[in-house]
Amino acid sequence: MQATQQEFTVEQVNRAVDAIIDVLGTPENDLHAEALSAFRAGNHQRVKRLAATNLADYYCKALGYLGGALKLTPNTDTILAESARSACEYVKERALRHLGTKINEALSLKPGELQ
């Protein structure tokens, strides 16, 4: 017996896209603000260019994939999964930076404290 693949609706994909953007959260810098603004304006080529020229930036990478998901191709599953993974990597890096800062603040010694 052969499994049949469910076709996605635009509404379903839009809900998945919204969930990924929600995980990314509020842009923390100008690059992220530009990428999100371009995505929301439908300028997916600009978002892909930002992702291509900022290769280590998971926020841009996550948004860069999403334009392709809106086309409802057989690759929609893969595109959404890759975008979601990139969004999670971004959140992980953001949490690591935040915790590192907080731990540094907690452990910072003033001159002469440890002798």
What is the per-residue pLDDT for 7? Answer: 82
The span from the CA of 8 to the CA of 88, in Å, is 23
CB 20 within 8 A of CB 14: no
The 3-state DSSP class for residue 54 equals coil
**CA pair distance 83, 100, nearest whole angstrom:** 26
- What letter represents residue 85's amino acid? R
Amino acid at 23: V
pTM for this entry: 0.85
Cβ–Cβ < 8 Å for 42, 30: no
Render each residue's pLDDT in the chain as its tens digit; 115 residues: 444 456 889 999 999 999 999 999 999 999 999 999 999 999 999 999 999 999 999 999 999 999 999 999 999 999 999 999 999 999 999 999 999 999 988 988 676 666 5
Report yes or no: 43 and 63 within 8 Å, Cβ to Cβ: no
- Using only C-alpha atoms, the chain has a radius of gyration, in whole angstroms, of 19
